[in-house]
């Protein structure tokens, strides 16, 4: 594989993942307020990248934001926020940021061409559909570790976040479809195996 000169856009795509990873680590140290701020920053930035994706016909580096924004919004429907003095689950209110982002994006680009381009990309390269949701992997793994609190548990989110970020950058930068497929598959399997082994050992 020839040396890669990483584009800034590939790095930008990983920022929501990094912010979420930091949030997860801070949660393990019980730094609740700061953890919440980083989680919120990750979500807001994902929505921002979703807007950029719509305006730019969903360039590949923005596709991650779709999965992160949608899945995070759906999960937030079933959680409460005592820190914000809300003991009830957010329900449909949690979808408002996503809906507003889509409305604003459509106002900037009043066309369905972005969706057509996204469909075209998925049709040409099926693994993009998997990549679309790959950014949610840390969030899903975090759910698996929820309610588990042990010393040195913070090492897991660090490792899992690093693997996810590296996978995203390699996937976006590699020109070979076969290597992109392999990168994505390994980038999903390895973190899941690490998480499963970690949870089994902890329990």
Q: What is the CA radius of gyration of the chain?
A: 17
pLDDT, tens only, 149-170:
666 788 999 999 999 999 999 9
pLDDT, tens only, 38-47:
999 999 999 9
Nearest in space to 189 (alpha carbons), one of 126, 128, 141: 141
The Cα 37–Cα 19 span in angstroms is 9
pLDDT at position 8: 85
Cα distances (angstroms) measured from residue 104 to each of 35, 97, 98, 99: 28, 10, 10, 9
> How many other CB atoms are there within 10 angstroms of residue 100's CB atom?
12
71 inside domain: yes
pLDDT at position 2: 39
Mean pLDDT along residues 22-27: 94
Residue 83 scores a pLDDT above 90: no
Mean pLDDT along residues 79-94: 80
CB 38 within 8 A of CB 22: yes
The Cα 10–Cα 123 span in angstroms is 22
- Structurally, how many domains does the chain consist of? 1
The Cα 141–Cα 201 span in angstroms is 15
Nearest in space to 35 (alpha carbons), one of 54, 49, 58, 19: 19
**pTM score:** 0.90
Percent of the chain surpassing pLDDT 70: 92
| Structure token pair of residue 36 | 């919440």
How many CA atoms within 13 Å lie on the side-chain side of 190?
15
Phi first, then psi: give them for residue 86, nearest 5 degrees.
-125, 110
pLDDT at position 1: 36
The Cα 58–Cα 51 span in angstroms is 9
DSSP state of 135: T
53 inside domain: yes
Percent of the chain surpassing pLDDT 90: 72
Nearest in space to 170 (alpha carbons), one of 159, 158, 181: 181
Domain housing 196: 8-202
3 inside domain: no
pLDDT at position 151: 66
pLDDT, tens only, 49-60:
999 999 999 999
68 inside domain: yes
110 inside domain: yes
pLDDT at position 44: 97
| Number of helices (H), then strands (E), in the chain | 9, 0
15 inside domain: yes
2 inside domain: no
């Amino acid at each position: 594989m020839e040396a890669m000169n990483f584009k800034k856009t590939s790095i930008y795509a990983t920022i929501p993942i990094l912010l979420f990873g930091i949030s997860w680590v801070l949660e393990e140290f019980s730094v609740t307020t700061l953890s919440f701020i980083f989680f919120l920053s990750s979500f807001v930035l994902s929505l921002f990248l979703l807007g950029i994706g719509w305006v730019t016909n969903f360039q590949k580096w923005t596709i991650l934001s779709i999965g992160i924004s949608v899945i995070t919004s759906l999960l937030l429907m079933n959680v409460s926020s005592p820190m914000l003095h809300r003991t009830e689950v957010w329900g449909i209110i949690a979808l408002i940021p996503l809906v507003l982002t889509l409305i604003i994006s459509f106002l900037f680009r009043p066309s369905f061409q972005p969706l057509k381009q996204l469909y075209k990309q998925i049709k040409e390269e099926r693994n993009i559909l998997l990549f679309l949701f790959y950014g949610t992997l840390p969030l899903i793994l975090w759910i698996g570790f929820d309610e588990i609190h042990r010393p040195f548990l913070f090492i897991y989110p660090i490792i899992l976040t690093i693997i996810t970020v590296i996978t995203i950058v390699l996937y976006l930068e590699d020109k070979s479809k076969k290597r992109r497929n392999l990168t994505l598959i390994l980038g999903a399997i390895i973190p899941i195996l690490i998480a499963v082994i970690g949870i089994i050992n902890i329990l």
